[in-house]
Amino acid sequence: MAAVSKTFLLCHGAWSGGWAWKKMHPLMAQAGHRLVAPTYTGLGERAHLANPAIDLETHIQDILNVIKFEDLDDIVLLGHSYGGMVATGVADRARERVTQLIYIDAFVPRDGQSLFDLNESGREPMRKAAASGDGYRIPPNPPPPDTPQADLDWLNARRVAMPVKCFETKLKLEHGEPAMPRSYIYCKRIPPDDVFGQFATRTKNEAGWRYFELDASHAPNVTAPEALMTVLAKIAG
């Protein structure tokens, strides 16, 4: 029996954009699914809109507007890295539209938490980096060390600085913890400063989660797209 076609809606990571998921579109199509990969205000092809007021709320609203104007329903919501902050907010406010929530090596905030609350060691270095630049944006973190050179060139040419307010904003959940089925994909090729292990531990041990591991580094959409597609299709199916 053929798999039921799903609409995957992406909440991408920091410094990135929908463009970074280019390898996933043909794989999604081959599997009979659709990937909608918008870019947040101030990043990627919308970098010209960058300004100091952009925060987590801006990016949540970006995705809510995609849902509204594209009339998306029965959504499998993907949150990658920083996108876990965005996806949690979107799932809270579009509960009737989101049927599944999948975090890919992502932050999983609780009500009232900011990204900096979940990555305290990164807070001061990132604030300093923003202060020494244009005052409101953090220059990109380097991609994972196992990224092939051609992909590195492609990524580094397109990644742009990230508004620091996005990491400072405390997420407000109107309805408590998301109620739809949630899955966590932990990428096992961890850097020395593994900030995502805490969420692997939490989601492995907390009721209401399905937990998966991927033999990949932090951006499997770039370095391990087939393996990522396999696990996404398994979860969504």
Which are the catalytic amino acids? 81
Comparing CA positions, the residue from 54, 79, 105, 73 lying closest to residue 5 is: 73
Residue 112 burial (C-beta neighbours within 10 Å; 0-12, 13-18, 19+): exposed
Cα distance between the two ends of the chain? 11
Separation between Cα atoms, residue 51 and residue 65, nearest integer Å: 19
Question: Residue 214 belongs to what H/E stretch?
Answer: strand 209-214
